[in-house]
Amino acid sequence: MTENAIKIEGLRKTYAARGREGAKEALQGIDLDIPRGGIFGLLGPNGAGKSTLINILAGLVRKSSGKVTIWGFDQDVNPRQSRAAIGVMPQEPNLDPFFTPRQSLEVQAGLYGVPRSERRTDEILALIGLTDKAGSYARTLSGGMRRRLLLGKALVHSPQVLVLDEPTAGVDIELRNMLWANVRRLNQERGMTIILTTHYLEEAEAMCDEIAIIDRGAMIVRDTTANLLGRLDTKTMVIEPETPADLPELPSGVTGERRADGALVFTYQSGKTPAAAVLSAVSNAGIAIRDVRTADPRLEDVFLELTGSGANRT
Ligand SMILES: Nc1ncnc2c1ncn2[C@@H]1O[C@H](COP(=O)(O)OP(=O)(O)OP(=O)(O)O)[C@@H](O)[C@H]1O
Ligand SMILES: [Mg+2]
Nearest ligand to the C-alpha of residue 61? 1
Residues 60 and 165 occupy one common structural domain: yes
Please state, in angstroms and rounded to a whole number, the distance separating the CA atoms of residues 230 and 232.
5
Q: Is the pLDDT of residue 313 over 60?
A: no
Domain boundary among 210, 229, 248: 229
At 19, phi and psi to the nearest 5? Answer: 55, -125
Alpha carbon dihedral 215, 303, 178, 106, in 10-degree steps, equals 10
Residues 224 and 204 occupy one common structural domain: yes
Tell me, in angstroms, the distance from the centre of ligand 2 to residue 44's CA: 9
Express each pLDDT in 49-107 by its tens digit: 999 999 999 999 999 999 999 999 999 999 999 999 999 999 887 788 889 999 999 99
**What does the DSSP assignment read for 37-82?**
TSEEEEE-STTSSHHHHHHHHHTSS--SEEEEEETTEETTT-HHHH
What value does the CA radius of gyration of the chain take, rounded to a whole number of Å? 24
Residue 95 domain flag: no
Residues 175 and 240 occupy one common structural domain: no
* 240-to-38, 106, 229, 289 alpha-carbon distances in Å: 41, 59, 27, 6
Predicted pLDDT of residue 312: 42
Residues 26 and 57 occupy one common structural domain: yes
Range of the domain at 217: 4-85+159-229
Residue 118 domain flag: no
Tell me, in angstroms, the distance from the centre of ligand 1 to residue 88's CA: 17
**Can you tell me which atom of ligand 1 is nearest the CA of 21?**
4
Chain center to CA of 157: 23
Residue nearest ligand 1's atom 4 by CA? 15
Tell me, in angstroms, the distance from the centre of ligand 1 to residue 210's CA: 23
| Mean pLDDT, range 272-295, rounded to an integer | 92
**Beta pairing, strands 65-70 & 234-241:** unpaired
Predicted pLDDT of residue 309: 63
Residues 169 and 77 occupy one common structural domain: yes
Determine the 3-state secondary structure of 195 from DSSP: strand
Residue nearest ligand 1's atom 22 by CA? 51
Predicted pLDDT of residue 311: 41
Residues 81 and 163 occupy one common structural domain: yes
Residue 199 domain flag: yes
**What is the Cβ-side half-sphere exposure of residue 296, based on CA atoms within 13 angstroms?**
9
Query: 137: Cβ below 6 Å to ligand 1?
Result: no
Express each pLDDT in 35-44 by its tens digit: 999 999 999 9
Residue nearest ligand 1's atom 8 by CA? 52
Express each pLDDT in 297-312 by its tens digit: 788 888 888 888 644 4
- Best substitution site from 30, 43, 51, 53 to test ligand 1's pocket, by max atoms within 8 Å of Cβ? 51
pTM equals 0.84
Number of domains in the chain: 2
Own/partner long-range contacts of 261-266 (Cβ < 8 Å, ≥24 apart): 263/238, 263/239, 264/238, 264/239, 264/240, 265/236, 265/237, 265/238, 265/239, 266/236, 266/237, 266/238, 266/239
What average pLDDT does the chain have? Answer: 91
Residue 40 domain flag: yes
**Can you tell me which atom of ligand 1 is nearest the CA of 52?**
18
Residue nearest ligand 1's atom 24 by CA? 46
Query: 225: Cβ below 6 Å to ligand 1?
Result: no
